[in-house]
Structure 1
Amino acid sequence: MTISLRCALRSLAVSTLLLGGCALQPQGEDDGKLDALVTTPQLDSRLSDLENSLVQRCMNDAGVLESHDARLDEVGADVTALGSALGALRAEIKNLGSESSAPPADCPTSDVEALENKTLLGRTEWVGFPTIGTYLKARVDSGANTASISARDITEFEREGEDWVRFKLALDENDVVIDDVRDKSIEAEITRRVRIIQASGEESRPVITLLMRLGPIKQNVDFTLNDRSHLDYPVLLGRRFMLDIALIDVAQAYLHERPEYPGGEPSDKAAEDEASDGKDDKEQR
């Protein structure tokens, strides 16, 4: 406590005692008694007790104020955090509303639907070539990459600045084909070349595009030209042809009817030619 406050308290106490003393003491009594009463040790003790009480109360009040300030800071922090959470919740609700208004994404096609959109093929099938005018037997082999057709007398030439090729079908006497086409010369533009690596060495083969029919499938297919007359099937269909359009069931054969062309046998007589199949050949890629 400051000196001025202490002095003021002492003055207040003295004044009170003096007034009380004047009221209690008769006039004319010795002034020494009043001085003795004012300076008594009891007055100092009471003043000290009052001083301590005031100091303790001030300290308690300061502690309460500090506690209130700390609580206010906590409440302020909670209010700030609550405001941030409320803002985030509003943004999430807004985004949720925009997402609900957007059209739903298409569900992925199921495996069953994907299979239904593909044509099932046997390990061997009849294929037709409308531009050549014949049907041939084909082996379906996912182990091969590019399709291949048996060819001989392959001669490359240039026509109007483009690379072309002339060839004949390389067939043996047992291969089923329309007779008028067996020795027919066929011409086609070379679309690209492929490099074939075999045990006997490396070679480059021309690739042509031919329109082909197989059951419900009718599309242009790339074929490499090479002599397959030593193999059982003059046509090989690889995975490039089957990609996204066909599946193989190796336990079955000739699932689709043989195409019909002028000079050939009707499709209902194909079973006789199918019965002549030998054992599966080991394809040379």
Structure 2
Amino acid sequence: MRLQSFALLLSLLLPPCAAALAAEKTVYGLNERVFLAELGSLVAAKLDTGAKTASLSAHNIKRFKRNGETWVRFTPGFGDQEAAPIEKPLARISKIKRRAGDFDPDEGKTYTARPVIELDVCMGRIRRTIEVNLTDRSAFEYPLLIGSDALTRFGALVDPSLKYAAGKPSCTHVAHADE
């Protein structure tokens, strides 16, 4: 009897806690407009909770050394194809798992190595610095895919029945990793 009472009490307490946690989150749609200040671009993004990392469409991706550090030079893969190249420090190299149709048995690698940079992203009224890997996304509808790592940084709840729920991006403050 005592165990049943405890279980009942616990079940009554959980929903308000869950609601309080949800109240601290921002609801976004499956697709959102984001502003990339460093690139001077407003782009459409797909929010994908099934992907871990964020991916940005880029061309002519080259690594180079500057003052002993590795940097990346790339041309954004959206908008004006004659855009000026962007240079950013390399944050790390990401290993992205290849899908069955993308696997080349002669090459033997089950992953693709992609350069990762840090980029300020404004979605709705929230701006965060997130890691994005660079790859050619020209075959996809959205030039930016935002994965679960970045969605966590945004405090996001994704409602796939919505599109552009956050409205036009309008950010002023950049939150750092400790915020």
Same fold (TM over 0.5): yes
Contact 2:27 2:166 in 1 (8 A): no
Report % sequence identity. 34
Contact 2:70 2:89 in 1 (8 A): yes
Deviation at 1:182, TM superposition (A): 5.5
Output the CA distance in 2 between the equivalents of 1:182 and 1:255.
31
Counterpart of 1:150 in structure 2: which amino acid? S
Q: Does 1:236 align with 2:136?
A: no
Q: Does 1:130 align with 2:37?
A: yes
Give per-residue Cα distances to partners, 1:105-127, cap 9 Å, x unaligned. xx998211211111101000001
Deviation at 1:148, TM superposition (A): 0.6
Output the CA distance in 2 between the equivalents of 1:141 and 1:232.
13
Output the CA distance in 2 between the equivalents of 1:123 and 1:182.
29
Match of residue 119, structure 2, among 210, 213, 229? 210
- The verdict on how the C-alpha distance between 1:182 and 1:216 changes in structure 2, with shifts beyond 3 A counting, is farther
Output the CA distance in 2 between the equivalents of 1:114 and 1:124.
23
Q: TM-score, normalised by structure 2?
A: 0.76
Deviation at 1:240, TM superposition (A): 0.4
Output the CA distance in 2 between the equivalents of 1:153 and 1:125.
26
Unpaired runs of at least 5, structure 1: 1-106, 172-176, 261-285
Counterpart of 1:256 in structure 2: which amino acid? A
Contact 1:150 1:229 in 2 (8 A): yes
The structure in which a higher percent of residues are strand is 2
2:107 paired residue number: none
Task: Give the length in aligned residue pairs.
Answer: 147
Give per-residue Cα distances to partners, 1:123-167, cap 9 Å, x unaligned. 000011111111100000100000010010001101111110000
Deviation at 1:257, TM superposition (A): 2.3
Higher Cα Rg: structure 1 or 2?
1
Output the CA distance in 2 between the equivalents of 1:119 and 1:131.
24
Contact 2:119 2:129 in 1 (8 A): yes
Counterpart of 1:224 in structure 2: which amino acid? N
Contact 2:34 2:169 in 1 (8 A): yes
1:220 paired residue number: 129
Deviation at 1:253, TM superposition (A): 0.3
Unpaired runs of at least 5, structure 2: 1-12, 104-110, 171-179
Q: CA RMSD in A?
A: 2.0
Q: Does 1:251 align with 2:161?
A: yes
Deviation at 1:169, TM superposition (A): 1.2
The structure in which a higher percent of residues are helix is 1
Q: Does 1:140 align with 2:60?
A: no
Whose relative contact order is higher, 1 or 2, with alpha carbons under 8 Å and at least 6 apart?
A: 2
Contact 2:125 2:169 in 1 (8 A): no
Match of residue 121, structure 1, among 20, 25, 28? 28
Deviation at 1:258, TM superposition (A): 2.5
Give per-residue Cα distances to partners, 1:81-123, cap 9 Å, x unaligned. xxxxxxxxxxxxxxxxxxxxxxxxxx99821121111110100
Deviation at 1:225, TM superposition (A): 0.3
Classify the secondary structure of the residue corresponding to 2:113.
strand
